[in-house]
Amino acid sequence: MASRAAIYQGMMWRGRSWAVGARSMSSWWSNVEPAPKDPILGVTEAYLADPSPDKVNVGVGAYRDDNGKPVVLECVREAERTIAGNLNMEYLPMGGSNKMIEESLKLAYGEDSEFIKDRRIAAVQSLSGTGACRLFADFQKRFLPDSQIYIPVPTWANHHNIWRDARVPQQTFHYYHPDTRGLDFASLMEDIKKAPNGSFFLLHACAHNPTGVDPSEEQWREISHLFKVKNHFPFFDMAYQGFASGDPERDAKAIRIFLEDGHLIGCAQSYAKNMGLYGQRVGCLSILCEDEMQAVAVKSQLQQIARPMYSNPPVHGALIVSIILSDPDLKSLWLKEVKVMADRIIGMRKALRENLEKLGSPLSWEHVTNQIGMFCYSGMTPEQVDRLTNEFHIYMTRNGRISMAGVTTGNVTYLANAIHEVTKSA
């Protein structure tokens, strides 16, 4: 039998061991610092905390009607009724809904695309446009590990996060000209020319985020030609097809030009903006390949990348998209509704510019109506934006990006007056 002293020593040792273990366990995450706040979500938080009855939020990148309310499209409601009568909660395949993918490819590549007929496109359903970009970034890293990606300045901030976390080195190329508040086409072309042959470039297909500045059709043709000369790979992020101009065919023009010129391309599609399916996270990643055999191989690898990430994509949003795009009546209704959204944004651009000009602003506001899509890159400085927030309770990101979806007939005059007040002495 052990002595009392031995038992006591054992208890003390076990106590010390437990204490060391407890300290060790409690310190596992002690080196974790709070992540910096997302600048866009931070704007919304500040807006919600402001008790002012005059407050205006032009920071959020989601469509609102002229009363400032979220919108559920009627075509989506009709699709929901169809789904309700045929509920199916089974898993989708790793690659997602084949019907949704089929309809998405028609939208991006054309209803009668030869590439679809020849089965040359590898495509999978993705978690909206963000997921499509991330899948492609991981695919790029896995199969071309020494490659890098050229990203425009500026771009949607999450693009940098996506390729960074996929461990793909990033370079940048000129895009926006702050003096003209338009496209810096000469510098853009020079950067494309200087990039090593066979480089990857991220391109916004339409309604560039955050600037709203798109190349003209002729400029897209010149860009495509230079890409051909340099053997660059274009990856298009198309988050606003239909939402930009009100015409999905027009908004896909850049992609069609590159296809006509014989490029192999990648494309990320999202249905957040053009169908209002923000919370459904439904999109599509497609890669045009040399032939059907290559497309089969590429799709299989995309599915393998998706498998450990999220196994397979959600079914509900995919059902909504596939029902709308495959039903002629619902698709026709969607085309009308997406044009209504686009036209409201265009109308608010005109109203904002007119109000600023009526106030006798010494600045040119042509860029407000020259730009397209959800966002207006106003040209205001961070200090001017701070004044808008502190003095007028108007919330936007400090780079001066205005979400035109937050502008209404009820607040456009107030917004214009405030902008004039902080910019008139610039």
Tell me the domains of the chain and their CATH numbers.
40-72+331-424 (3.90.1150.10), 92-326 (3.40.640.10)
Could you say which of 138, 184, 214, 273 is catalytic? 273
- Identity of residue 180: T
Predicted confidence at residue 11, as pLDDT, reads 47
- Of 167, 98, 182, residue with least CA distance to 137: 167
Q: Is 193 a catalytic residue?
A: no
Predicted confidence at residue 6, as pLDDT, reads 52
Cα torsion angle, 263, 267, 273, 274, sign: positive
Q: Is 261 a catalytic residue?
A: no
Which tokens sit at 255?
Answer: 């992609």
Could you say which of 138, 141, 156, 365 is catalytic? 156
Predicted confidence at residue 18, as pLDDT, reads 47
The whole-angstrom separation of Cα 289 and Cα 301 is: 13
Q: What is the pTM of this model?
A: 0.92
Predicted confidence at residue 314, as pLDDT, reads 96
- Of 314, 255, 304, residue with least CA distance to 105: 255
Residue 277 sits at φ, ψ, to 5 deg, of: -95, 50
Sequence-separated (6 or more) residues with CB below 8 Å from residue 50? 393, 395
Q: Is 156 a catalytic residue?
A: yes
- Of 368, 159, 128, residue with least CA distance to 269: 128
In the chain (426 residues long), the average pLDDT of successive 10-residue segments reads 52 49 69 87 90 94 94 97 89 96 98 97 98 98 98 96 98 96 97 98 97 97 98 98 97 98 98 97 98 98 97 97 98 98 97 97 96 96 97 96 96 98 90
Site of tokens 């990033």: 170
The whole-angstrom separation of Cα 357 and Cα 340 is: 26
